[in-house]
């Protein structure tokens, strides 16, 4: 298994919004920070030309109460002003990623600055899914009835977001209190589990590849290898 050691002076990166400190979090055993997550979400979404990537600050600003991203917003308290701000944010992301259109939206979520997971809204497949690589979260939530699962409230606010995004796409999407909808929802979709407490960010970056079938890196068990590929890609981009 390869190991990454970024104290070597030969490793240099020169990219906007990527500090040396952030680049070093790609090293083995480190927790990826926001700058790294945002860099690859923006780059890969732009490359896909089919997916809109929202950065790590979107979730805490619109989906959750506070920056810890623990308690999801109550849909009843979200207003037309919130919708207007969401639309403005998404239009800015679309412009930054040079997208003429999109069929999926990917949202990384930073929980208490200690864990990464993600959500995906797929208009082509009509699916809203939440991906969390923690085995215990998946198993415990699957055992509980839907109202008691960890991400149920988060799914409700994602349904609200999906309706807004649908209007932006010129589609009528009605999900809340609609028993006849053809959309499907999974607040705890099964994904490969992490084997430690620091690889969640790497897993999160590979979630869109699995859910959206992007032409990027295949998912396997070698996390150090994936970190090396991320580092190499950044270094190549900085040339």
Give the pLDDT confidence score for residue 4 in this predicted structure.
56
Whether 13 is covered by a domain: the verdict is: no
For each successive 10 residues of the chain (239 residues), what is the average pLDDT?
50 79 94 97 92 97 96 96 98 97 96 96 96 94 88 97 98 94 94 93 87 52 88 91
Give the pLDDT confidence score for residue 219 in this predicted structure.
61
SS3 track for 183-220:
CEEEEEECCCCCCCCCCHHHHHHHHHHHHHCCCCCCCC
Task: Please identify which residue in the block is written with the tokens 């600003």.
Answer: 61
Give the pLDDT confidence score for residue 210 in this predicted structure.
66
Whether 8 is covered by a domain: the verdict is: no
Task: Name the domain count of the chain.
Answer: 1
Rg (CA), the chain: 18
Give the pLDDT confidence score for residue 129 in this predicted structure.
95
Whether 226 is covered by a domain: the verdict is: yes
Whether 120 is covered by a domain: the verdict is: yes
Whether 1 is covered by a domain: the verdict is: no
SS3 32: coil
Q: The whole model's pTM is what?
A: 0.90
Whether 57 is covered by a domain: the verdict is: yes
Whether 82 is covered by a domain: the verdict is: yes
Whether 10 is covered by a domain: the verdict is: no
Residue 84: other Cβ atoms inside 10 A: 11
**Where residue 211 sits, what CATH number does that domain have?**
3.40.395.10
- Its domain, for residue 76, covers 20-237
Give the pLDDT confidence score for residue 10 in this predicted structure.
53
Q: What are phi and psi of 193, to 5 degrees?
A: -90, 145
């Amino acid at each position: 298994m390869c190991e990454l050691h970024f104290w070597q002076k030969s490793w240099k990166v020169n990219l906007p919004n990527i500090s040396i400190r952030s680049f070093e979090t790609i090293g083995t055993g480190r927790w990826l920070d926001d700058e790294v997550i945002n860099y690859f979400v923006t780059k890969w979404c732009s490359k896909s030309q089919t997916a809109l990537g929202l950065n790590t600050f979107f979730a805490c600003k619109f989906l959750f109460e506070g920056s810890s991203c623990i308690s999801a917003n109550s849909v009843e308290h979200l207003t037309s002003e919130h919708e207007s701000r969401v639309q403005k944010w998404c239009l800015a992301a679309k412009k930054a990623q040079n997208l003429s259109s999109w069929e999926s939206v990917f949202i990384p979520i930073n929980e208490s600055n200690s864990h990464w997971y993600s959500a995906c809204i797929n208009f082509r497949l009509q699916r809203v899914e939440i991906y969390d690589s923690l085995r215990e979260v998946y198993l415990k939530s699957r055992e509980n009835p839907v109202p008691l699962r960890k991400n149920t409230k988060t799914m409700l606010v994602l349904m609200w977001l999906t309706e807004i995004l649908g209007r932006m796409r010129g589609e009528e999407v009605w999900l809340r209190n609609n028993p006849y909808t053809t959309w499907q929802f999974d607040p705890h979709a099964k994904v490969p589990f992490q084997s430690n407490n620091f690889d969640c960010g790497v897993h999160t970056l590979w979630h869109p590849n699995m859910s959206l079938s992007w032409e990027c890196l295949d998912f396997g068990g070698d996390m150090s290898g994936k970190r090396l590929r991320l580092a190499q890609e950044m270094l190549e981009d900085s040339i």
